[in-house]
Structure 1
Amino acid sequence: MRYLVWVLRLLVFVVVLLFALKNTEPVKVSFFADYALANVPLIVVMLVAFLLGLMLGLLLMVLHVMRKKREITKLKRDVAQLKDKLKNPEVPADPVAAETIAPLAPL
């Protein structure tokens, strides 16, 4: 299995390398306010766009994971409290007489 993973990694590396070698034409990259970069290799532009998208995706994923971890921690705490209540049920300090809830006879 290890060899298969390394073969797949090598194959992906070769494909990406060939893709990069085929996309070396210079392009003009225009930004806002008439700011532009000229003669930037196309593969560099594509790589920067890919890395920015990857970082944004990872940031969103980390925020989602942190929110889920907080929720799991809260739920575990709630479960522990409920288990504690099951083990040690609370006995009312002042028991209420049945007559106060439902009188036996009207006056």
Structure 2
Amino acid sequence: MTAITWAVRLVIFSFLLLFALQNTDPVNLNFIFGQIWQAPLVIVLLAFFAGGALLGVLSLLGVIYRQRREISRLKRAASETKAAAVVVPEPPAV
């Protein structure tokens, strides 16, 4: 299984390397005020991919933080309930 995983990784890396080597032509990034940036296409794509990934992670931080607070609150409540539980002995069998 490890060999298959490394083979897939090697194929993906080779594909991305060839993509990067074929897309080195400079592109202009234009916005409202005119040209902002000129860089190779692969750098522009990488920058926007990284920016999108960063925005995705930042958008999930609030949800993750809220879930962790809820989990800690539930664990605290469960431990308090377990500590307050009274053990009732079984009645003797007739």
TM range (shorter): 0.7 to 0.9
Q: In the TM superposition, what whole-angstrom CA distance separates every residue of 1:37-94 from its partner, at most 9, and x where no partner exists?
A: 23x1111110000011111112223332222111100011111222223238xxxxxx
Residues 24, 41 of structure 2: 8 Å contact kept: yes
Structure 1 equivalent of residue 90 of structure 2: none
CA distance in 2, matches of 1:41, 1:62: 32
Q: Secondary structure at the match of 1:28?
A: strand
Structure 2 equivalent of residue 6 of structure 1: 6
Give unmatched runs, 5+ long, in structure 2: 88-94
What is the identity, as a one-letter code, of the residue corresponding to 1:50?
Answer: F
Structure 1 equivalent of residue 80 of structure 2: 81
Identity %, equivalent residues:
37
Q: CA deviation at 1:35?
A: 4.9
Q: Does 1:17 align with 2:17?
A: yes
What is the identity, as a one-letter code, of the residue corresponding to 1:6?
Answer: W
Kindly name which structure, 1 or 2, has the bigger radius of gyration based on alpha carbons. Answer: 1
Q: Secondary structure at the match of 2:85?
A: helix
Q: Give RMSD over aligned pairs.
A: 1.9
The alignment's TM-score, normalised by the length of structure 2, stands at 0.77
Aligned pair count reads 87
Q: Does 1:37 align with 2:37?
A: yes
Give unmatched runs, 5+ long, in structure 1: 89-107
CA distance in 2, matches of 1:62, 1:52: 16
